[in-house]
Chains A and B, each alone.
Chain A
Amino acid sequence: GAGVSQSPSNKVTEKGKDVELRCDPISGHTALYWYRQSLGQGLEFLIYFQGNSAPDKSGLPSDRFSAERTGGSVSTLTIQRTQQEDSAVYLCASSSGSSGVRGQFFGPGTRLTVL
């Protein structure tokens, strides 16, 4: 596609429910990242995928968070048993090149609100 797309754009859920956030990276980009941006805060790295390598999950805040990337393309971030502190904008980004130094292309984000 022309850019990184994310769905849904907004998600309101009740505390304790599970949610799935989707990211479609730019076609051909081998690296995919998930970040979280809380209100008034910077970007918090969550996880990244690079090709077929094992993902770097070091930024996931708890075991309620998980992510998959199927076929080296689409990625899904799953949050189980959501809590109010999970409310944030979840950003996906992808990058290309042998070293990924052309910068990351960000999607518009999914705004998650946990009531």
Chain B
Amino acid sequence: AQSVAQPEDQVNVAEGNPLTVKCTYSVSGNPYLFWYVQYPNRGLQFLLKYITGDNLVKGSYGFEAEFNKSQTSFHLKKPSALVSDSALYFCAVRENTGGFKTIFGAGTRLFVKA
């Protein structure tokens, strides 16, 4: 069965510093991987995805994520954090088997301090 782990409940980073939000996954076969963001009092928004091709994928708001098959990881990164990046981030995985069932991680709360 597919699963996702976000090992950090919370990540704190100073504005201007690089940030990383970790995600590891377990699926049968090749995965589809996603990151979503939930800002305070707003709905979930799609951030980026990995389907195939380049291991480094770029998404909205300057975020990027690196797919590492050997480590089964898909960490979210940004070179320079903004206070406005403070939000709840969810990693998600779907098996490449034709279905649409998507499993979400528990979420990581990012705090960016000015």
The 10 closest A-B pairs by CB, nearest first: A103-B46, A42-B106, A43-B104, A106-B44, A31-B100, A42-B107, A100-B100, A106-B43, A108-B43, A101-B51
Instruction: With CB as the reference atom, state the residue of chain B lying closest to A6.
Output: B43
Q: Within 8 Å CB of A102, what residues of B?
A: 49
Binding site for B on A (CB under 8 A): 31, 33, 35, 41-43, 45, 48, 50, 56, 58, 91, 93, 95, 99-109
- Contact between B100 and A35 (Cβ–Cβ < 8 Å)? no
Selected contact of A104 from candidates B102, B105, B106, B107, CB within 8 Å? B102
Selected contact of A105 from candidates B46, B94, B103, CB within 8 Å? B46
For chain B, the bracket of interface size reads 20 to 34
- Contact between B90 and A91 (Cβ–Cβ < 8 Å)? no
- Contact between B44 and A91 (Cβ–Cβ < 8 Å)? yes
Selected contact of A56 from candidates B6, B99, B105, CB within 8 Å? B99
Q: Within 8 Å CB of A58, what residues of B?
A: 101
Measured CA separation A101–B45 after assembly (Å): 14
Selected contact of A41 from candidates B45, B99, B106, CB within 8 Å? B106
Binding site for A on B (CB under 8 A): 6, 32, 34, 36, 43-46, 49, 51, 90, 94, 96, 98-107
Instruction: With CB as the reference atom, state the residue of chain B lying closest to A93.
Output: B44
Asked, given contacts A101-B49, A103-B34, A106-B43, whether A43 binds B100 with beta carbons under 8 Å apart, the answer is: no
- Contact between B106 and A45 (Cβ–Cβ < 8 Å)? no
Q: Which one of B49, B94, B100, B106 has the highest number of Cβ atoms from chain A below 10 Å of its Cβ?
A: B100
